[in-house]
Structure 1
Amino acid sequence: MSQKMRLAVIGCGAIGKVHAKAITGLDEAQLVAVSDLRPENATKLAAEFGCNAYTDYRQMFEKEKPDLVSVCTPSGTRMDICRAAADAGVNLLVEKPLDISVERMKKILQTAEAAGIKLGCVFQLRFMPVFSSLKRAITENRFGRLIIGNAATICYRSEDYYKNGGWRGTKAQDGGGALMNQGIHNVDLLLWLMGDAKSVYAYADHLTHDIEVEDTVTAAVEFVNGAVGTIQATTSVYHGINKKLEIFGTDGAAIIMGEDPVMWKFNEPLEGDLSFLQGKESEQKGLSPTSPLIEDVSEHQQQILDMINAIREDRQPAVPGIEGQKAVELVLAIYKSAETGKKVNLPLEN
């Protein structure tokens, strides 16, 4: 068996703990260190997972020499960390969103490319069987021409969620609200399945929370391939569905509610379609409409393992950094449209 790769985590909050748990469950990896500006956070997580604690990630890079680091800090803080990692020759797996501006994301990509390191962005839902099956059906042209793609993230976050986090719901560090933070997973899935977006027209507002950014947004999307669709996100609805994805083509239709297919129909049915649709409800516990906590880390494990294999095989990861940029760029275009009341074309300028 190959020697275990040395992995580290920067940011010891809720999502940092998810990465630590995922890493320690992999035979191919060893969690050597965690880092957080708050020493109590770093010490607590390090004690839980049996690794070293740091408050200075540069010092961690120098002493621990990790092969790969998970960046789990607030959204608007990641560019400088990525630069430091690249300077140290450390490969990067960055939590969504990659960062909060086109300019900052481009600098991250350029820095990683110049340093010759691998850069991945966390969109773990791509590794769920239901979504990989959906992608495969599109690739095999079972849908025919894609006509409509809709994505909705209808969930709830309390006022305390925003206040206690400090950075959540702020333009400077969160970069946005319901769409940038919660809805971006569905944004990525929609782009992955439907292809690049050409233009958007949107409305956004904060309807129930006292925050700087939106807690509710709806947008009409035009895709490069001529298809159209919608994107919706809110953190104001307690009895939500977390996520819903609809793909309609000339020859097929699929609706995924949460992680469960509720429609799976094609002009040319295949053996296994019925059993796929009628399979037992998903036992995945990764995401909840009312809680930001992730219990099941299996998809994070799969993405981390893909990063490890990408490093060993010297290939691009399954979700490279450019995919993270595309998702954020679409979110920013939606915000711009909502602010100006006009259609916004993609790609965006800096």
Structure 2
Amino acid sequence: MTLQSRRWMLMSEFRICIVAAGARGRAHARAWSQIPDAQLVAVADVEEERAHALANEYGMRAYADFREMLEREDCNVVSVCTPASLHCAPTVLAAQKGCHVLCEKPIALTIEDGEAMIEATRKANVKLGFFFQRRFGYASQKLDKLLAENAVGRPVLWRIFSEAEIRPKLAMHDKHGNNGPIGDYCPHLFDRWRWLLKTEALRVAARGFVYARGKPEVASIRELAIDTAAIIIEFASGDIGAIVITWGLPRGLGWRNSEAILGPNGIIDVDGEAKLTISRPEGQETFTVEDKLDMDLALVQDFIDAIRTNRTPKATGEDALAALKMSLATLQAIETGNWVSLA
């Protein structure tokens, strides 16, 4: 721990800077604002009006350049909420200045950037955490116990259907922004499988399309990401993960999800993070939670505790890098038409 880090810890205060003031920047600010020992000090966004709006809402200073913000502000935690292609630079600079970094997923669009982020924080001896907030949801916590108890047997076939209209943020459809659902959303699912199945992916097969091509909402994007895919992942445990996903449906169709875990002894149906039902020959059992957990807040609280107790955050850089490798293997499988090995 650096001398600067020791001084911050003695102050018992976490001073937060946020990079990017979009929807996820707002979510981070809202979560940080609920931490008693945290103070939101500044936000940077290339869209200055957006930075000022968020700054005014939470009493922060606003910047157009994250470099200037990190140079001027005495912060010790940085939330990185830019599009995935821009995660590396602010993470590395924050680490070099002795700041812990809590970053949105995915870690990056390339393995090189992801490894650079991990190495920079390791070298600076600061924490690096990632926003895989579903790890903290009620259903995920319950699934962790049920799978540990072998509730439906193994191996399982875990299938997910996720069907959505064209997303409101264009960066989500940009191959060089967040790289479509395979780059932006599937890392949540891949991390969920790795964490709950306690295993690593062996190989991936996939087919994909660009359903949004030709639609006026994305006409300004130079190179569209694949927005529709069928994905099969084999795990070292013998389990199989299967995803059918699209972000390319016409506007007005909304977003719907369906998730189930099939095992030799039964089925677990998952309804978001608030409800799941296990069906076995002896009958059905449903688990629900009335008060929906704030998963963003729970993740931020875990990150703060990791700093205070000098432990590893529950969602690490290595976890995020593993999910990125699964995303890249999926895209390679679509491009080549072949199985792609991850072993």
What residue number does 2:193 align with?
A: 190
What residue number does 1:64 align with?
A: 73
Contact 1:42 1:54 in 2 (8 A): yes
Residues 303/66 of structure 1: CA separation in 2 closer, same or farther (3 Å cut): same
1:41 Cα deviation (Å)?
Answer: 1.7
- Check if 1:214 corresponds to 2:218: no
Measured in 1, the distance between the counterparts of 2:74 and 2:160 equals: 40
1:283 Cα deviation (Å)?
Answer: 6.7
1:22 Cα deviation (Å)?
Answer: 1.3
What residue number does 1:179 align with?
A: 182
- Check if 1:127 corresponds to 2:136: yes
Residues 145/278 of structure 1: CA separation in 2 closer, same or farther (3 Å cut): closer
Contact 1:98 1:324 in 2 (8 A): yes
Q: Alignment identity in percent?
A: 29
Residue among 134, 146, 158 paired with 1:149: 158
1:98 Cα deviation (Å)?
Answer: 0.8
Residues 143/117 of structure 1: CA separation in 2 closer, same or farther (3 Å cut): farther
Measured in 2, the distance between the counterparts of 1:240 and 1:278 equals: 26
- Check if 1:55 corresponds to 2:69: no
Residues 23/264 of structure 1: CA separation in 2 closer, same or farther (3 Å cut): same
RMSD: 2.5
Residue among 253, 258, 267 paired with 2:272: 258
Residue among 242, 247, 267 paired with 1:230: 242
Residue among 117, 120, 134 paired with 1:111: 120
Out of 247-256 and 200-209, give the one that drifted further. Answer: 247-256
Residue among 289, 305, 310 paired with 2:306: 310
Measured in 2, the distance between the counterparts of 1:104 and 1:122 equals: 17
Contact 2:165 2:255 in 1 (8 A): no
Measured in 2, the distance between the counterparts of 1:249 and 1:50 equals: 51
Give deviations 1:260-279, integer Å, cap 9, x for gaps. 4453146899xxx83xx164
Residues 262/3 of structure 1: CA separation in 2 closer, same or farther (3 Å cut): closer
Contact 1:203 1:338 in 2 (8 A): yes
Contact 1:152 1:186 in 2 (8 A): no
Residues 322/152 of structure 1: CA separation in 2 closer, same or farther (3 Å cut): farther
Q: Give the structure-1-normalised TM-score.
A: 0.84
* SS state at 1:243 partner: strand
Residues 186/243 of structure 1: CA separation in 2 closer, same or farther (3 Å cut): farther
Letter of the structure 1 residue corresponding to residue 205 of structure 2: Y
Contact 1:7 1:30 in 2 (8 A): yes
Measured in 1, the distance between the counterparts of 2:265 and 2:126 equals: 41
Measured in 1, the distance between the counterparts of 2:265 and 2:78 equals: 43
Residues 304/245 of structure 1: CA separation in 2 closer, same or farther (3 Å cut): same
Letter of the structure 1 residue corresponding to residue 195 of structure 2: W
* SS state at 1:178 partner: helix
Residues 118/252 of structure 1: CA separation in 2 closer, same or farther (3 Å cut): farther
Give deviations 1:36-93, integer Å, cap 9, x for gaps. 1222221111001111112232332233222211100111011111110110011111
Residue among 329, 336, 343 paired with 2:339: 343
Measured in 2, the distance between the counterparts of 1:112 and 1:268 equals: 51
Contact 2:166 2:212 in 1 (8 A): no
Q: Give the structure-2-normalised TM-score.
A: 0.86
Contact 2:19 2:79 in 1 (8 A): yes
* SS state at 2:82 partner: coil
Letter of the structure 2 residue corresponding to residue 145 of structure 1: R
What residue number does 1:42 align with?
A: 51
What residue number does 1:289 align with?
A: none
Letter of the structure 1 residue corresponding to residue 150 of structure 2: N
1:157 Cα deviation (Å)?
Answer: 2.3
* SS state at 1:146 partner: coil
- Check if 1:83 corresponds to 2:95: no
Contact 1:142 1:266 in 2 (8 A): no
Residues 242/98 of structure 1: CA separation in 2 closer, same or farther (3 Å cut): farther
Letter of the structure 2 residue corresponding to residue 183 of structure 1: C
Q: Which runs of 5+ in 1 are unaligned?
A: 285-295
* SS state at 2:89 partner: helix
Contact 1:34 1:51 in 2 (8 A): yes
Letter of the structure 2 residue corresponding to residue 228 of structure 1: I
* SS state at 1:33 partner: strand
Letter of the structure 1 residue corresponding to residue 314 of structure 2: A
Contact 2:95 2:120 in 1 (8 A): yes
1:251 Cα deviation (Å)?
Answer: 4.1
- Check if 1:326 corresponds to 2:322: yes
- Check if 1:8 corresponds to 2:17: yes
Contact 1:31 1:51 in 2 (8 A): yes
